[in-house]
Structure 1
């Protein structure tokens, strides 16, 4: 099992082109930890904003009567990918992983694979 700090390092080191990572509590919108980011990428603001994205998707699924869990949500910008992955299991209730990637340098499939691996080992 991995701590939040170790999980953040695995998210950043495990994906080429990673710009920033966060572990977020979507019940409060607070980041439990962040790594990377910088000028033009405030991960605490992004974490709070993406909390609304998760909540909206959950509500939409409920209204549509869709069963199953969200695997991930992808937001594609001109130069970046923003990948959101809810954490499943007993330790992850209400948490999500958030990874920002440089679109030109990253492999989206590998990033999704890495987030799944990190999610499986995260312990809060």
Structure 2
């Protein structure tokens, strides 16, 4: 099991990482964050992506889908944003958020690494 600090550092070690956050989507608050810049405010990203997760969960419920979300990918012209709801014990109601530089990131590898980080994280 890994601590939040270790997990955030592992997320930032992914090629192209710009910012990493562990978010409580009940409140929209970042529980831990690393990286970011003046152009990538991680507190704003945490709150905004909370709305993305809530909207997707409401839509799935309306459709009667019994699946769970593995991850949500937002592709921008210069960045990838990966939102990964936590499913492990103690992680319910939380998600991992990672912003990547699209020119330096390998999306498939980043998703694979995020899955491994989420599995080890203990909150």
- What's the TM-score, normalizing by structure 1? 0.97
> Does residue 11 of structure 1 match 2:5?
no
Counterpart in the other structure of 1:101: 100
Count of residue pairs brought into register by the alignment: 123
> Does residue 86 of structure 1 match 2:85?
yes
| CA positional deviation for 1:35 | 0.4
SS in 2 for 1:61: helix
| CA positional deviation for 1:91 | 1.3
| CA positional deviation for 1:68 | 1.2
Q: Deviations over 1:55-109 (max 9, x none)?
A: 0000000000111100000011110000000000221110000000000110000
Counterpart in the other structure of 1:58: 57
| CA positional deviation for 1:118 | 0.5
SS in 2 for 1:96: strand
Counterpart in the other structure of 1:36: 35
- What's the TM-score, normalizing by structure 2? 0.98
Mind listing any 5+ residue stretches in structure 1 that lack a counterpart?
Answer: none
SS in 2 for 1:67: coil
Within 1, Cα distance between the matches of 2:88 and 2:17?
25
